[in-house]
Amino acid sequence: MAQADRQRIDKWLFFARVVKSRSLAAKLVEAGRVRLNRAKTDQPSQPVRPGDVLTITLERRIIVYRVVAAGERRGPATEARLLYEDVSPERRPATDAETAQSAPRDPGQGRPTKKERRQTDRLRDPD
């Protein structure tokens, strides 16, 4: 296999615009947050080839990319998208229970609401 077909994993993550800098890419790999073909890797120098699958765990999501090509430079986002095929699982939409601000409460339970405080203040000070 030719040397041009392989590239360091930290360099590839930087060129594919997964992270903002190559040092952040190296830290991401060293932290064990990148899997190469389902195997954990902690070596930023680990080579990636076209056809490899990278599973990247970021703060709030998991990204799964299939490497299509090695990068030559960190170019614009349109150029970076040519380096991979996104095979991430579909994100499920948030349910109503997950997006609710607060749980319903029975009247008289817990702290008073602003409306209830005003009513109490009117009773205490009727001016």
Interior CA angle at 51 toward 45 and 57, to 5°? Answer: 60
Residue 46 lies in a domain: yes
56 within 8 A of 28, measured Cβ to Cβ = yes
Residue 107 lies in a domain: no
Distances in Å between the alpha carbon of 21 and those of 43, 45, 95? 17, 15, 35
Residue 123 lies in a domain: no
Sequential pLDDT tens for the chain (127 residues): 456 689 999 999 999 999 999 999 999 999 999 999 999 999 999 999 999 999 999 988 899 999 999 999 999 999 999 999 999 888 777 666 566 566 676 777 888 889 989 998 998 887 7
Number of domains in the chain: 1
Distances in Å between the alpha carbon of 40 and those of 55, 96, 103, 113? 9, 35, 40, 51
Range of the domain at 50: 3-90
The two structure tokens encoding residue 33? 């947050």
Please report, for the domain that includes residue 81, its CATH number. 3.10.290.10
